[in-house]
Amino acid sequence: MKGVILAAGDGTRLAPLTINRPKPLVPVLGRPLIEYTIDSFGQAGIRELVIVIGYRGEMIARKIGDGSRYGLKVSYAPNPGYKGGNGTSIYAARPFLADEAFVLAMADHMIASPLLRKLLARREIDDTLCVDRAAKAPPQVKDATKVWVNDAGLITRIGKELEHWNAVDTGVFLFTPRIFPIVADLMEKHDGRCSVTEAVRGLISQKGMRACDVSGAFWMDVDTLADLQYVERLLRPLKGDRADRYIPWEVQRQWKEKRATMGWFQDI
């Protein structure tokens, strides 16, 4: 199975750090944000990635290259229509995926490989969203996309505006090729625009969308300067004097031990 990383957006909420570079290359303790996600895909056993690029995408391609130094094969899918929403980037990746299921993640989300492993361990290959029922950290819950998961493990509602919800969207998905006609239809109806959330709503109404509960696994949405500062404070004690490629493993251990203590989040 291939992985897809959406890295096309212009990252305006991280300005001024994104004025002259794309958001995925903003450094987190000296390493580009996207490298943490690439490493986690590799640790989870995925060996082929498609990175969808748009804003200053050539900088990402130059930095990451063919993926060989990460032990992966990386291809690049250009999305000239990226301003139409992140759902358009799913469609841009289609030529690289044939008719196979794929795992999708956001370039501005830091995720630990145990989260991906839990998703990949599921027996059924069906459209699935990784959800967190115990999210507490500011980068997880602030401006979060909320979901309602029913007793059968199906997502019935999704959106930032939900008043009643029982989990949050982690930004990690398993999609089957069923997603592509839904995105295409939304783009046609909305003048080339489509968000991932809108596409998920389409799946919910047509085919159904499963939830994979990854509560307790490490993930962070690095969307703003405040998010970046929070994540760096979290990682810095584990970094030492070198850029440790496997920081997410260490964070996962500490996360499992301390995440239940709300004061820990406030102290970081």
* DSSP assignments along 221-232, one per residue: E--SHHHHHHHH
Q: Are 193 and 84 in contact (CB under 8 A)?
A: yes
Phi and psi at 107, nearest 5°, equal -65, -20
Q: What does pTM read for this prediction?
A: 0.90
User: Tens of pLDDT along 212-229?
Assistant: 999 988 899 999 999 999
Give percent of the chain with pLDDT exceeding 90: 75
The fold for domain 2-253 equals Spore Coat Polysaccharide Biosynthesis Protein SpsA; Chain A (3.90.550)
Instruction: Please tell me the number of Cα atoms within 13 Å of 179 on its side-chain side.
Output: 34
Q: Residue 141: its pLDDT value, please? A: 87
User: Tens of pLDDT along 2-38?
Assistant: 999 999 999 999 999 999 999 999 999 889 999 999 9
Provide the pairing of β-strand 128-132 with 27-28: unpaired
C-alpha 178 chain-centroid distance = 20
Query: For residue 83, what are its two tokens?
Result: 């301003």
User: Greater confidence, 251 or 148?
Assistant: 148
Query: For residue 184, what are its two tokens?
Result: 């295409």
User: Tens of pLDDT along 176-189?
Assistant: 999 999 999 999 99
Residues with Cβ within 8 Å of 215's Cβ and at least 6 positions away in sequence, in order, are 131, 132, 133, 134, 135, 167
In the chain the beta strands, taken as DSSP E runs, fall at 2-7, 27-28, 31-32, 48-53, 73-78, 102-106, 109-111, 128-132, 146-149, 155-159, 167-175, 210-213, 219-221
Query: For residue 171, what are its two tokens?
Result: 């930004």
Q: Are 88 and 192 in contact (CB under 8 A)?
A: yes
User: Tens of pLDDT along 42-71?
Assistant: 999 999 999 999 999 999 999 999 999 999
